[in-house]
Amino acid sequence: MPESGVKVLKEGVLEKRSDGLLQLWKKKHCVLTEDGLVLHPPKQHHDHQHQHHHHDTGCKAKELHFANMKTVDCVERKGKYVYFTVVMSEGREIDFRCPQDEGWNAEITLQMVQYKNRQAILAVKSSRQKQQLLVVSAQKMVRNAQ
């Protein structure tokens, strides 16, 4: 996702629990933007510095877009880690952990809420514009009928 013009708000390593039988914790290089969270396998992040067309290399970056995210849930502190779950709108749950002092869960939650607020404001503006167009066209119709 971080193409030109996309503002990177936070970048670093998060551990994601794998979906497999063993449910191992795998390190991912994560990039948080205003639109979502992008997960890169850590090795490919280092390659990225040498290859400008990262998305053309067949990398397996995974984007968790805020439009498809429902909530950040189950925040639990154990030892040096904070464990949290990102719940997607289709019901899928993705478990993460990070060192407590990094605050990824709070930052992801904050950006998700701000994204949803921006979308709500755009929706309200859009419906107001439609209403204004209807009023203006109705006034023209009344004037033309007189």
In a domain, 1, yes or no: no
> What mean pLDDT is predicted for residues 100-122?
94
- Could you report the per-residue pLDDT of 42-90, keeping only the tens digit for each? 875 444 444 444 444 456 889 999 999 999 997 899 999 999 999 999 9
Spatial distance between the Cα atoms of 19 and 37, rounded to a whole number of angstroms: 18
Outline where the chain has alpha helix (H): 42-48, 104-145
Highest mean pLDDT among 50-59, 86-95, 125-134: 86-95
In total, how many domains does the chain have? 1
Domain of 69 in residue numbering reads as 8-145
What is the pTM (predicted TM-score) of this model? 0.74
Indicate whether 2 pLDDT > 70: no
- Could you report the per-residue pLDDT of 8-48, keeping only the tens digit for each? 999 999 999 998 888 999 999 999 999 999 999 987 544 44
In a domain, 91, yes or no: yes
Per-residue DSSP letter, 7? P
Q: The domain spanning residue 80 has which CATH number?
A: 2.30.29.30
In a domain, 49, yes or no: yes
In a domain, 84, yes or no: yes
In a domain, 78, yes or no: yes
In a domain, 2, yes or no: no
Distances (CA, A) of 107 to 13, 94, 112: 14, 16, 8
> What mean pLDDT is predicted for residues 87-103?
94
pLDDT of residue 1: 47
**Burial label, 41 (beta-carbon count in 10 A; 0-12, 13-18, 19+):** middle
In a domain, 12, yes or no: yes
In a domain, 88, yes or no: yes
